[in-house]
Amino acid sequence: MFVGHYAAAFALKGKEKSLSLGALFLAVQFVDILFFPFVLAGIEHLKFEEHYTAVNNFNMYFYPFTHGFAGTLFWSVLWCFLYYYGFAKAKKNRKKIAIFMALAVLSHWFADLIVHTPDLPIVYGEPKLGFGLWHYKFATFAIEAILLFLGLYYYLKNTKPIKKAGKYLAIVFVLFLIFINYLNLYVLPENKDMVSLTISALLSYFLFALIAKYVDKFRV
């Protein structure tokens, strides 16, 4: 899953206003942020196979450290500690912040579960899980858009605009994310080069997080 992960970021921000939407955007993609460099470093493995699914050519046959349930849980616990003892140390509700950031990291696995082919390990090898929505291109596009709209709706319902721009910026941003996903699924050619794939993935994750941070400044 790509932009659909941000639904969890919007929803968690709607639930707990003291969280940073920008940081949540990084948290929900954190295991992917690790995955691409891990593949480049030879720690995890991805093979490009033409028409592997209807939406991409990724055969991710070995990635337990980032996409195993136990692996994702490990990173989410790490985020919990980082926030509790670090970033949120001075905050009154640091426990809640730490738990919510951990939930954001963990949400990635459950969102991936919907679309991935059975390639997500529980721990290391078999059994591997995945409902395989990636075999259906339009369904993949639709589910990501629906999730995003639900997350956005909850965020808008639970926050208020502080300037005029606050009324529509988040909506424009979500439409932009869905447009990027449209390009990704329907327009851009399949990627066959791991280095350029890593660069474009990481750039988009960090760019989206920066935009989210900016957009969120207009709502309280």
Rounded to the nearest whole angstrom, what is the least distance from the CB of residue 108 to Zn ion in the complex?
6
Residue 185 near residue 55, CB atoms below 8 Å: yes
DSSP 70-93: HHHHHHHHHHHHHIIIIITTTSTT
Identity of the residue, 33 or 156, whose beta carbon is nearer to Zn ion in the bound complex = 33
Residue with smaller CB distance to Zn ion, 3 or 97:
3
Residue 174, amino acid: V
Site for Zn ion in 21-40 (CB under 5 A): 32
Q: How far is the CB of 39 from Zn ion (least distance, A)?
A: 12
The nearer residue to Zn ion, 99 or 113, going by C-beta atoms, is 113
Size of the site for Zn ion (CB under 5 A): 2
Specify whether the CB–CB gap between 84 and 58 falls below 8 A: no
Report how far residue 26's alpha carbon sits from residue 212's, in angstroms, rounded to the nearest whole number.
Answer: 10
Of 112 and 144, nearer to Zn ion (C-beta) is: 112
Q: According to CB under 5 A, which one of 46, 68, 84, 112 is a site residue for Zn ion?
A: 112
The least distance separating Zn ion from the CB of residue 152, rounded to whole angstroms, comes to 21
Dist. CA 152–CA 9, nearest whole Å: 9
Residues numbered 56 to 95 that lie near Zn ion (CB under 5 A) are none
Which long-range CB contacts under 8 A does 43-50 form with residues at least 24 apart? 46/194, 48/190, 48/191, 48/192, 50/190
Cβ atoms of 59 and 49 closer than 8 Å: yes
Tell me the one-letter amino acid at 63: Y
Cβ at position 1, least distance to Zn ion in Å = 7
Choice between 20 and 29, CB closer to Zn ion: 29
Residue 119 touches Zn ion, criterion: CB under 5 A: no
Tokens of 142: 């639709």
Alpha carbons within 13 angstroms on the beta-carbon side of residue 187 total 6
Contact window for Zn ion (CB under 5 A) among 42-50, 112-120, 142-150, 178-186? 112-120
User: Would you say 10 or 38 has its CB closer to Zn ion?
Assistant: 38
Q: Which residues bind Zn ion (CB under 5 A)?
A: 32, 112
